[in-house]
Amino acid sequence: MAEEFRSLAGQLLAAAPGMLDPNFARTVVLMMDHTPEGAVGLVLNRPTEADLLDHLPGWWGAAVNPRVVFVGGPVGGGGGIGLARGVGSTPLEGWSDVLGIQAVDLEYEPGPDTGLEARIFAGYSGWGPGQLESELDSHGWLIIEGQVEDIFTPNPERLWEEVLSRAGGRYAWLATYPVDPRLN
C-alpha cells in the first residue's frame, strides 16, 4: 500500500549533522512548497555580506536585521525572493502564504513607515519529484515545526542550534554536535 503524501510546506528542514553538501551543511530551510512534483524552500541562515542598501535600496527600510541579502539556496542565484509580513507588500503570484508570511514582488518597493518586515533571498532550494523524500529517508534532514521568528531572526548564524534545541529530545542533543567531530 502506498504511503499517503504529506506536504512539508511551512515546516523547517534542519540539515542533519552529517550533511556534507556545502550548500546545505548546518542549514535551516523553510519549506515554501512541497507536492509530489517537487519542493521549494529557502535557507534561512546564510546571510551574505551584500548590504541591501547597495542592491535593493527600496527594501532596506523594511528589512529586518541583519539588512543583507541571504542565500536562499543554490538554484536561481540570479533572482531574488522576498518574504514579508505586514501591510504594504505585493504577493508573488503562484506562491502560497507560509506561516502567515508571503513571498513578495521585489520590483514593488514598500513606502516608508509601512510596518512591513522583510527578508530578501538570492536563489532558492529546489528538489525534483521524489528527491526530497529520498533525502529524508536517508536521514539527511530533520523536520522541525517552523515559527515566524525563525524567518526574521536577528541571529541567523545561531538558527541551526536554536531550532534543534527548541525541538527537544534527540534534536536538542544534536544542537551541540561539533562542526568537525574530529576536533572534539
CA dist 70 → 79, 121, 127 (Å): 12, 5, 19
- What are the average pLDDT values for consecutive 10-residue runs of the chain, which has 184 residues? 81 93 95 96 97 92 94 87 80 81 86 82 95 95 96 97 95 79 62
User: Locate cell 513606502: which residue?
Assistant: 111
Length of the chain: 184
Q: Give me the CATH code for the 11-183 domain, please.
A: 3.40.1740.10
How buried is residue 114: exposed, middle or buried, by Cβ count under 10 Å (0-12/13-18/19+)?
Answer: middle
Give the model's pLDDT for residue 49. Answer: 96
Domain-by-domain residue ranges, the chain?
11-183
* pTM of the predicted model as reported, rounded to 2 decimal places: 0.92
Give the model's pLDDT for residue 91. Answer: 72
Give the model's pLDDT for residue 177. Answer: 74
Sorted by sequence, the CB contacts under 8 Å of residue 10 that are 6+ apart come out as 30, 31, 98, 99, 146
Give the model's pLDDT for residue 184. Answer: 57
Give the model's pLDDT for residue 107. Answer: 85
